[in-house]
A and B are shown apart, each in its own frame.
Chain A
Amino acid sequence: AQKVTQAQTEISVVEKEDVTLDCVYETRDTTYYLFWYKQPPSGELVFLIRRNSFDEQNEISGRYSWNFQKSTSSFNFTITASQVVDSAVYFCALSEAYNAGNMLTFGGGTRLMVKP
């Protein structure tokens, strides 16, 4: 069965610091998808990135970057020069291709607090 672990439940940083959110996953499927979502206080989950299991290239989008390593089953998320607006709960999620659908398994989330 699939599982996603986010060991950091809460992280507090000062604005402009870099911060990395860890995500470790378990799956028996060879084809799967990994995601990061942001949940601001309003509650709506905002999609940040999707990665499929065959694409291990790291990705950078502005201040955000993602490091996908199949060898360690990790998909970590780094925010460079954090800002107060980055304060939110961040979720890592996994979807296995065999499901033939859109079922996401979420990690427990990491609450990021960026202080001015």
Chain B
Amino acid sequence: KAGVTQTPRYLIKTRGQQVTLSCSPISGHRSVSWYQQTPGQGLQFLFEYFSETQRNKGNFPGRFSGRQFSNSRSEMNVSTLELGDSALYLCASSLDTSGRYNEQFFGPGTRLTVL
């Protein structure tokens, strides 16, 4: 079974631009979560999508948004990029059959550099 895939793996943007990152969950998984990892703030939860609806949201500005498609694939978008948005963005998927917590499987991440 293929794992969680994220594209692109590396991205370089300049301040003020916007970026879209993509995540394909493990087949059959319905929940997709996004995390930001930086040296200063560590791993922080961005948001979670389940059945195309945002179920949880972390404490990030509105410049960070996401969506989930009917095939469970998810995208996150960051508008008006700032230098501080440089980070490793990790996506995780979960089977989530019962609505209770299930193990999350993480992808390799997208490393975003903002110049």
Partner of A103, one of B33, B100, B105, B111: B33
User: Using an 8 Å CB-CB cutoff, how does the interface string of A81-106 with B read, 1 for contact, 0 for none?
Assistant: 00000000001010101011111111
A58 → B minimal CB distance (Å):
20
Partner of A102, one of B44, B96, B109: B96
A110 → B minimal CB distance (Å):
12
How far apart sit A100 and B31, CA to CA, in the bound complex (Å)? 12
Q: Contacts A42-B108, A43-B88, A44-B108 given: A101-B43 contact, CB under 8 Å?
A: no
The answer to whether B90 touches A45 (Cβ under 8 A) is yes
Nearest neighbor of B50 in chain A, beta-carbon distance:
A101
- Give the residues in chain A near B103, CB-CB below 8 Å: 47, 50
A40 → B minimal CB distance (Å):
11
- Give the residues in chain A near B44, CB-CB below 8 Å: 106
Nearest neighbor of A107 in chain B, beta-carbon distance:
B42
Q: Contacts A103-B33, A104-B45, A108-B42 given: A95-B109 contact, CB under 8 Å?
A: no
How far apart sit A33 and B94, CA to CA, in the bound complex (Å)? 15
Majority secondary structure, B binding face: strand
Partner of A43, one of B33, B48, B104, B108: B108
- Give the residues in chain B near A105, CB-CB below 8 Å: 45
The answer to whether A101 touches B107 (Cβ under 8 A) is no
- Give the residues in chain A near B55, CB-CB below 8 Å: 100-101
The answer to whether A95 touches B108 (Cβ under 8 A) is no
Q: Which residues of A contact B (CB under 8 A)?
A: 33, 37, 42-47, 50, 91, 93, 95, 97, 99-109
Contacts beyond the supplied A37-B106, A45-B90: 13 A-B pairs with Cβ under 8 Å: A43-B111, A45-B92, A95-B101, A97-B101, A100-B55, A101-B101, A102-B48, A102-B96, A102-B102, A104-B33, A104-B104, A106-B35, A107-B42
29 intermolecular pairs with C-beta atoms under 8 Å apart: A33-B101, A37-B106, A43-B88, A44-B107, A44-B108, A45-B92, A47-B103, A47-B105, A50-B103, A93-B43, A95-B101, A101-B31, A101-B101, A102-B33, A102-B48, A102-B56, A102-B104, A103-B33, A103-B45, A103-B48, A103-B58, A104-B33, A104-B45, A104-B104, A105-B45, A106-B44, A107-B42, A109-B42, A109-B43
